[in-house]
Amino acid sequence: MTLSLAWFAIQGLAPDEFLDRAGFEDTGEPDEYFDAEHSAGDLPGGWYVVVTAQAGLLDPARLAQWSAGGRLVAVVVHEDTATSLATEWRDGRQVWSAFHDGSAEKKQLEVEGKLPDIFDAIREDLMAVQAEAVSEGDYFDAGYDIPLDLAEDITGFRHDALGFDEDIPVFNVLERTRIAEA
């Protein structure tokens, strides 16, 4: 089964304020493995994360509105095409983005803005993993993981790396209260 989802991590805003801006309400019902269409939870470091099956919520006007007064990292993942995007917004303005289209004939990573200092180290590490895989006759697409690792380094969250143990609280199901204005 392949996965397509988006997630938004906000820091600097109260979760209730962010949910109101985004048009969600926390039901209090646990969602341990993102089975619900929308779920959310608190993470260490003051991050609050919303995971949704609606990748279309990643709209620049919406991200600008949602990040006003805070810091927002947003990610979209389409595993079937090995496509990934990570972007950061602060106080209504985009700071950087990293995009990899795994379905393109010539795969490459497109970046813009002022990338975090850790970007080069992440890229170099993953390119080394890719080179080793290729030398062993295996396949590894480093470009796919670079945006995901970058977002994880900043927020401490990665959708496919959670064990939901004592370190990570269980997320709760969210319901849409309205379609957030863009």
pLDDT in tens, 72-125: 999 999 988 889 999 999 999 999 999 999 887 777 889 999 999 999 999 899
Q: How far apart are CA 50 and CA 19, in angstroms?
A: 9
Q: How confident is the model at residue 58 (pLDDT cuts 50, 70, 90)?
A: confident
Alpha-helical segments (H) within 2-82: 15-22, 60-67
Residue 73 sits at the vertex; the CA angle it makes with 115 and 146, to the nearest 5 degrees, is 50
Residue 7 has φ and ψ, to the nearest 5°, of: -140, 150
Full-model pTM? 0.90
Q: How far apart are CA 48 and CA 106, in angstroms?
A: 36
